Amino acid sequence: MSDSRKLTYYSVEEPAVEVSDDNHLPEVTEPEPANVSIARKSGRWGKWLAVGVVFALSAALIEAVLMVLERLQQNVVLGSLWAVGFGVIVFAFLSFIVREIWLLQRLKRRWKKQSAEPEQQLQLLEHPDLEHRWQQIKQSYWSADEKRERFEVDILSRVDQQATRVISRWSAEAAAMVAVSPFALLDMLIVMWRNQRMISRIAELYGVKLGYWARVRLWRQVFANIAYAGLSEVAADLGAQWVSAELLTRLSTRAGQGLGAGLLTARLGYQVIELCRPMPFEKVKKPGYLKLQKDLLSQLKSVLPFVYKSRQTKAKAGAEQKVEN
């Protein structure tokens, strides 16, 4: 019995931290969700183009330096003005590039981080109030799974709620604007502009800052996801649209256009939520379209004189149908 187990006692004075942040489970690296990784092949032409641009840029740079030197020899004041001007431009350009790369990296990292520890994700969210709340509720005895669940249900769902509110507000606005806009081109511009604003707003809620390229990537991903939407999602959407099929027959053309624009905006918004969310929806239900329609309609009602077709036209349509039968 020499090898029997015994309790090991430690000195109480030894410094020890309260356990709360880490569990010793091996980190599971889940495969990236399929809908996020749609790889793009950069063509041969792109590569040549990049080489050309690099050459041209370096030539321009050398040219500029030479020019500045020449001017300096002619006139010191004018030369230094040129130098400062070029310097500022180059600096701004470089910092823009660095910032863009950094932001894009952050977005990509976010897509990869979809299975990281709640504590890390919480920092990425950049919501001090939620951090405080997490400190309040978290229990030292939780396992990794429990932590994940609580993080999603108690913390992330709040951000989701905010994002859903944003979506419903912006899509309602888009719907109203499209409904009252006089021509089609303006419709398109409005939808683009509203969507752009909404996406930045949602991304911000989830702690994702968007630069130009990050934005482009996000847009591309959003459209790719909508194009490659899974069967279930299509079914869910169809369901939502079926609900409205009966409604659409009653809507006036204007209201119908508005509703369509609103729904599209909302759809984009939900995609952005999924892309910016630090973890996929597990215990929390995905936000849906049902309540949204109500919001959209009430918004439309407030801006349009008549949302529904007038009773007369409807009655006429009904009579025509009867005749056909």
Residue 132 as a binder of other proteins (CB under 8 A): the answer is: no
Residue 4 as a binder of other proteins (CB under 8 A): the answer is: yes
Residue 112: its H or E element = helix 76-112
Two tokens at 243?
């609900």
Residues of this chain, 150-169, that bind other proteins according to CB under 8 A: 150, 154
Taking CB under 8 A as the criterion, the residue among 5, 132, 285, 311 binding other proteins is 5
Where does 113-210 have alpha helices with state H?
Answer: 118-125, 128-137, 144-150, 157-180, 184-205
Residue 143 as a binder of other proteins (CB under 8 A): the answer is: yes
Residue 277 as a binder of other proteins (CB under 8 A): the answer is: no
Give the per-residue contact string, 19-38, with other proteins (x = CB under 8 A; - = no).
Answer: x---xxx-------------
How many Å apart are CA 279 and CA 61, to the nearest integer? Answer: 45
Q: How far out from the chain centre does Cα 244 lie?
A: 27
Residues 187, 196 contacting (CB under 8 angstroms): no
Question: Whole-number minimum distance, CB 118 to other proteins, in Å?
Answer: 13
Report the phi/psi class of residue 30: left, alpha or beta, with left for phi > 0 and alpha for psi in -120 to 50.
Answer: beta
Residue 3 as a binder of other proteins (CB under 8 A): the answer is: yes
Residue 39 as a binder of other proteins (CB under 8 A): the answer is: no
Q: Which range, of 27-35, 141-149, 164-172, 301-309, touches other proteins by CB under 8 A?
A: 141-149
Taking CB under 8 A as the criterion, the residue among 73, 74, 139, 312 binding other proteins is 139
Residue 254: its H or E element = helix 253-276
Using CB under 8 A, list all residues that contact other proteins.
1, 3-12, 14-19, 23-25, 136-137, 139-143, 150, 154
